[in-house]
Amino acid sequence: MTVLVAACNQKPSQAEAQAVEVVKLIVSEPDNTSKLDTLSHGRAASIVEEIQNDLPSKIAVEFMQARQQQGIPTHFEASTQKNDNPLEKHIVVSVIQGKSFPSKNIQAHFLVLMQKEFNQDWSVTGISLHAHTSDLDGRPNESNNKEHSRFTSLPPSTPDHPKP
């Protein structure tokens, strides 16, 4: 029981708190680019562009924004994935929406890539939808997990079926 109490009292790390704040801004205050720019060390435009250029991320964000505008409560949680590089963190920020929290009936999980800067601050270097769940049992749907880019230009798309 002591372990459970200790786990519940853990404060998020600086990087986790910053990753949550970035995702909160994207979902709750999409027009607050100045605060997003401050939190991401000047990368707000890249973050917005990354989400707009990734269709699953864009749809998930717009869906969450629409539900929030309808008054659906939104809760954010963060967890750090294991990573061997101490100068990088991979943080999964879960956006949970529903009237009966903790019944996690709508979730989107964003992977936020963080890098430690020379001044010891953490900076966002990438963000994308990690998994999306819209069923009532709360199990992540890993079918749309993908490689996560680091704010690079996207390669030109090629059609699945070339024209004859």
**SS (HEC) of 95-139:** EEECCCCCCCCEEEEEEEEEEECCCCCEEEEEEEEEEEECCCCCC
pTM for this model (two decimals): 0.72
Residue 162 is predicted with a pLDDT of 42
**Tens digit of pLDDT per residue, the chain (164 long)?**
444 444 444 566 888 999 999 999 999 998 888 998 888 888 888 888 889 998 999 999 999 999 999 988 898 999 998 888 989 999 999 998 886 655 556 788 999 999 888 877 888 888 888 875 554 444 444 444 444 444 433 333 333 444 44
What are the structural domain ranges in the chain? Answer: 12-136
Residue 72 is predicted with a pLDDT of 87
